Amino acid sequence: MNEMDLLTEFRAEVPLGVSPHAEELFRAGIQDHFAERARLPRTRNPFARIGMRWRLALAAGLAVGLALGVLVAVQPSGQRAGQPAGQPSAEAIGQPSVLTARMLADRAAAAALTGPTVPAGKWAYQRTVTYSASPPRGIPARLTQDIWSTADGSLEYQGGGWSRNAVQPALYRELSSLPANPVAIDRYLARLSYPNANATQTNDEVAAFTTIEQLLSSAILPPSLNAELYRALGDIPTVEVRSHVTDIDGRAGVAFVLPENSQSANLEIILDAKDYGYLAQAAWQPSNGTPNSAIPFTETAVLHTTLVSGPGRTAADLAPPSQAVLAAEQAAIAVLAAGNPGQGTALTHPGQWIYRKLAAAGGTREIWARVDDTSQASYVDGRLVTCARSATCASGIAWLMPAGPAYPVVYPSGAAARYPQLPDDPQALLDKLSTYPAGCADTAAYCNAVSVFAHMLLGYGNTLLGYGNIGVSPLTWYFSLADVPGVTIKHVRDAAGRADVEFSFPVTSGVTGILYNARTYQFAGYLDNGAVTLLLQQATVSGPGVRP
Amino acid sequence: MTPQRQAPAEPDSDAEADDATVIQLSRHEPEQFTVLFRRHAPHIQRYVIRRLGPDAADDIVAETFLLAFRRRDSYDPARADARPWLYGIATNLISHHRRAEVRLYRALARTGADPVCVPFTDRVDDRVSAGQAGQLIAAALAGLPAGLRDTLLLAAWSDLSYEQIALALDVPVGTVRSRLSRARARLRRTLGDADPSALAEEPQT
């Protein structure tokens, strides 16, 4: 090997690739020059998260906001805003139509009854397109989004962004528990509008319409309930029908319309003209009082809905949700209900010391380790021994993180934050973690990934809240574990007497089970080759040997 | 956000047009210039990081392409491959950070830990240490005059031919050859009389 070969290997770890930050700087520079003309292809959508909020504002805000009695600020859209590619429905609202609301409701209800019964925890993948005449800054007028949600709408996932919808599952549950007759549902919907008795008829109608709109667009309801909701739409006195409308995707439809009133713009639920399946919801205002030039203020169309095995998956899967997926959902809801783990209180300083008390086969152990597990300390024969990973004593230490991604990959900061991190998609994360050799050969069963998961949960300090945070949401972890082939769920009582949920993996070596607290879904311990390690206590301390 | 999955498919037409054509097109359609960025920025960025570390690299890479963009009208359309031009601009920008570059080599030579590579250490059990050979190379690079170092590192890291390096640095190709032989001689001297292959492999523990 000559000096040129050595030079070629020098700093060869630096990957080939352009950092997102450099690309942004370049694009910003070009756009400064050609602010108007340059329409640059983007490889990444920096607005993804804002987009989700915007969509939620549209879907939930319009509906729930109105249901709570908040008046939606409808912007006049008379000025020439960019028309969407598929022309919005522009038929005159006053045009007499052959179809009455009740007739349309009956047809839609009959069609709905032929739909499948989908369990509340089943995942659905939807592609939606939202058009907005006056989008928030930075959001394109026409926004296509891929969204995963459970059938009851309680959890929503969008490319690494997770959210919990607290209102919808309650609606779903309560509506599902009603006797299947229109009167009960009408009464329920009417009660939603205002808690006080002074609610006007308009209040009631807007609340009912927007609640139904929300449920139809974002939940997969039992067929009988779905049918009753359509009948309830037909029962709202002022609801009209517009035939021959087109949604923003250009599909022929027929729409229920709640005409503009003191509390809302025109609201529309557009159904497929042929099979009466749900297509889109829209809110719009006639501009300058001339209905023929109406432009939708906003419209969200569902391009397709596919039942899938879990969040992030796109292949159709009709099987009921697995026990592991249901457990992951419980975990996700518990985490979201606990607030916003991993933000604010996460430990990001890699040098911080953490005290941990563990229970293992040999009894209770106390370990002090830095957040990034680069140094460890414990008592040996009554003497505190501290060792750095780079030191010669390191080989005699049982590292909490024996293998896996380096801390800067997991929790990037500074320069590293600008380089690709771990993926936020459950399956992709599992695949990525499988690439770290954790000493087991059963790669098809993801045993390396499972071991790495378990070690990160125990060994990296940002798990102090008990949930872990690896630069992607801890919720993604649960669904990654649920994606491991053959995973099962066991309810166990651990040696410390705690009720745990165990994700149990059909692997022959390495970590075979990960334990979570059955109520909070915080990390409780793991099983490694049959031996249980339980995390009894952890706390930040000022240095090795210091107890909290 | 996982860029791997979201990367758009490369339009086929990109493969057809050489750099000169893309630059010609970009005179009237500025957005065409992003084709050049997609094509070459990953390599330029790696080159700049290897010399200056990730902190400075983002700005320099963006600035390289923005300078090129502003000068696109004067690009010689006879040069189908724009890499010598781009590496030349990048090398000029790097020269403004000469002290920082040398500081990084010296830190590595002294401590054995390479600050440039820390963000790219993927595994917890990886060693950030560059090994003895890395330390000696860093020491040698720190001691090279700037002209020799520019030539040597373009030869080692850029895939440019001697003729293209000459274009990038705006010197005759004979100068490239003589600089390279001088730089390699100094590198060999620093690596010592010992067989350099003895330094190549760090035993894995």
Q: Residues 20..39 of B with a Cβ closer than 8 Å to A: which?
A: 30-31, 33-34, 37-38
Q: Do A26 and B43 touch (CB under 8 A)?
A: no
Contact at CB, A403 and B50, closer than 8 angstroms: no
Q: Which residues pair with A514 in a beta bridge?
A: A503, A526
Q: How far apart are CA A477 and CA A455, in angstroms?
A: 13
A-chain CB neighbours of B46 within 8 Å are 14-17
Which residue of A3, A9, A25 is in closest CB contact with B188? A3
Residue ranges of domains in chain B, CATH in brackets: 18-96 (1.10.1740.10)
How does residue A199 score in pLDDT terms, banded at 50, 70 and 90?
Answer: low
Residue range A436-443: mean pLDDT, rounded: 81
- In whole angstroms, what is the distance from residue B187 CA to residue B138 CA? 10
Chain CA centroid to CA B175, Å: 20
Q: What was the pLDDT predicted at B193?
A: 47
Do A11 and B50 count as a contact with CB atoms less than 8 A apart?
Answer: yes
A333 to chain B, closest Cα gap in Å: 22
**In terms of CA atoms, which chain A residue is nearest residue B180?**
A4
Hey, are the CB atoms on B156 and A23 less than 8 Å from each other?
A: no
As for the ipTM of the complex, it is 0.85
Question: Is pLDDT above 80 for A42?
Answer: no
Would the CA dihedral through B70, B71, B75, B81 be positive or negative? negative
Least confident of A69-83, A177-191, B5-19: A69-83
Give the pLDDT score at B26.
Answer: 86
The 3 state secondary structure assigned to A359-372 is: EECCEEEEEEEECC
The pLDDT score that the predictor gives to residue B128 is: 54
pLDDT score, position A184: 76
A18·B45 Cβ contact <8 A: yes
A112 pLDDT exceeds 90? yes
Dig out the tokens for B70 from the structure.
């502003």
Cα dihedral value A229, A235, A240, A243, nearest 10: 50
Tell which B residues from 116 to 175 touch A, by Cβ distance under 8 Å: 116-127, 129-130, 133-134, 137-138, 152-153, 155-157
Contact with chain A for residue B197, Cβ under 8 A: yes
Output the pTM of the full model.
0.69
The answer to whether B152 touches B179, Cβ cutoff 8 Å, is yes
Does A169 or A225 have the greater pLDDT score? A225
Q: Residue B129 — pLDDT band, cuts 50, 70, 90?
A: low
CA dist A88 and A249 (Å) reads 9
What would the mean pLDDT of B127-137 be, rounded to a whole number? 76
What residues of chain B, 39 to 98, have a C-beta less than 8 Å from chain A? Answer: 41-43, 45-46, 49-50, 53-55, 57-59, 61-63, 65-66, 69-70
The whole-number average pLDDT for the span A301-315 is 94
Q: What is the pLDDT of residues B30-42, one digit of tens each?
A: 888 989 999 999 9
Higher pLDDT, A384 or A76: A384
- The region of weakest confidence among A109-113, A496-500, B59-63, B127-131 is B127-131
Helix (H, G, I), strand (E, B), or coil: what is residue B50? helix
Window from A312-326, B21-35, B72-86 with minimum mean pLDDT:
B21-35
Question: Residue A30 — pLDDT band, cuts 50, 70, 90?
Answer: confident
A8, A23, A37, A44: which to substitute to probe chain B, counting the most B Cβ within 10 Å? A23
Min distance B86 CA to chain A CA atoms (Å): 14
| Residue pLDDT, tens place only, B135-162 | 899 999 999 999 999 999 999 999 999 9
